[in-house]
Structure 1
């Protein structure tokens, strides 16, 4: 089946961050994609990490001589089979609904480019970044008027918060310039926008951007070359506005256009302390809508319970450098003595069966869980969790010693949640609540019967 999206990841010496990046792609809610991992001559273990994911048929790995990020992206775009291209840097990661959000917007609104908000991460802090708030379809001239207000904003300059049509890139022979190491993404975006008819924005973050390295200047970039590159980029930037705007509008906005030449790329600056409006990394995924939390009906109660569990799982996952899906599997393996068929545990964790098996493999590689197959007819006593497999087989999940601290924190976390929920209750009130809750649970079971 031809993939709808080709997700392109240039990889170079990022072994400490690469698994998080790749797993954020493989755990996407949207499944119809191919993942192109382009190993650009890495000298660390990045290449082997890429190869370890080839068990998934959607993953394609290319090992090549080092040629830089722009040329690597060009090579990947030439190989891509998807209708759309999505770019991802190997030390960043995607939100769980990233690809779905972009594709649905492109398809529903028949757009040539989709631009989205993103999360800016520094240390343990995160803040949402965006600019365009309209949900109306924009022509290139409309988009340009938004862009000129923030001429050096990463929101406009980067490629990783956007979705591109491969057809347009191929039709107009668009490529990133390997000779430019300043604003190379931005130049490509300007070329692409000139070839668009319809552009739309979504106010949903789709990406986690982590600023790890210093700016070009702080990395001892040759200053004369930097000035030359910035002058060249500005000239193309100015010409872009002259081409897409009516002359009268272009002349009116010319002073703002020139701000690009003196403005700094705001997201290049690592902020030394908490920024107003920022929050701890992980909290961005677990913000709850107060109106739903206060709704006294089954939907509101289920929403509240889900948000509380999600918060704990996110915190534990972050503490042990695991994905939320991995923590959920460990939790269910520890909690349920007989979860039933594989499809049941996949449903409980919100994973596909393929996704669940991938998570199990990851946990096995991390020495947190072991698996063994045996016939379902056997009635062997075990403390392990049994999941029905294919052709009458069972898969036994055994928590390993490495997983014990994770499970211990989960157990204690849910204990604390329970204690907090009943804060101020008398023992009699707690017993009454639990009796009533059990009656409600039985009634709900009847509804589902």
Structure 2
């Protein structure tokens, strides 16, 4: 080989190395971009929730009196208490929508179960610890009634649940005879208004709100130890579960995404959970309804992500015919989804009655719209097969924070409806846009 040939070979090698070096960062950037795009549906609404919260925090701090703002410990607790029943309904509605259906009757079911609960406790003097499980059984029967017509008779869920909305609302008014029933015993009321006992008080700096928009104020006081422990446990469980998901994807040869992006995501979510726990611990701790929600979120997330029934719900919602051909009993699957919705609607009705301290025939009005909006804002697809339990919770919190923030700022109820309608439309439009982009 001549000297000229060697020089030409070395120049070609240098060109190859230079092109590879240039392609490596481009490939890494593409991987990060694809990972971000793949997580838009999962984490986009969390970012939106944080942004909306910060916006209302700044506005309320600047426009209201000193010490009054959205993120004060008292107001954060109130957001949970005020929206607890909607959060419960949103979980059940998310499963119904993933399965490819809709339920317009949940508000009326809440009213009927709340009415019968009030009658049993106040007029029949049945102990409330017996009435609560009986109310959940009643909700399951109502869900089975509607699920039968939808799954086995093949009547569209819109028609069946629209009829149920009228039927159960009428029954609630008949049983209550147009009057409210109360009061309830304190033990029952604590379901919606009580707090976990502070068996581990911690003397430390506690959160005392904000000043000048986002300047944190602290004071010496007593933290609610059990709430902090639950917050640390939630962070540990989140990291552990996401690490398992990442390892499982690698074992199957699937892309797991850049490690730096994974670490950043875990840190961000951990900070959010920790800050939320600290704010609650600075007041009276985690409410009882908050503990109920934690149990529901963990249980339903496990079912939808790990259990066979969860995969079947996704399969039926994605393509019912293909699911049937693969051996899934689609009728039974749909039936049990509506039984589950009935149980959660009954639970929401009991929580709402406990919060009011009375059973009223007008309970549950527009609850179905709030639950449906929470599911769609939280990432559910109108065509079924897509959505998460955590997404439903985030969607409900988005609507709840907006309601609370606008009420604090004195925004009229008419404008609140306009803004919530636009938010719902934007969420569905975002879903359609993502589908079109995915299909090219």
Q: Same fold (TM over 0.5)?
A: no
Could you state the TM-score of these two structures normalised by the residue count of structure 1?
A: 0.22
Q: Which protein has the bigger strand share?
A: 1
Which TM-score applies when normalising by structure 2?
A: 0.22
Higher helix share: 2
Structure with greater contact order relative to length (CA < 8 Å, sep ≥ 6): 2
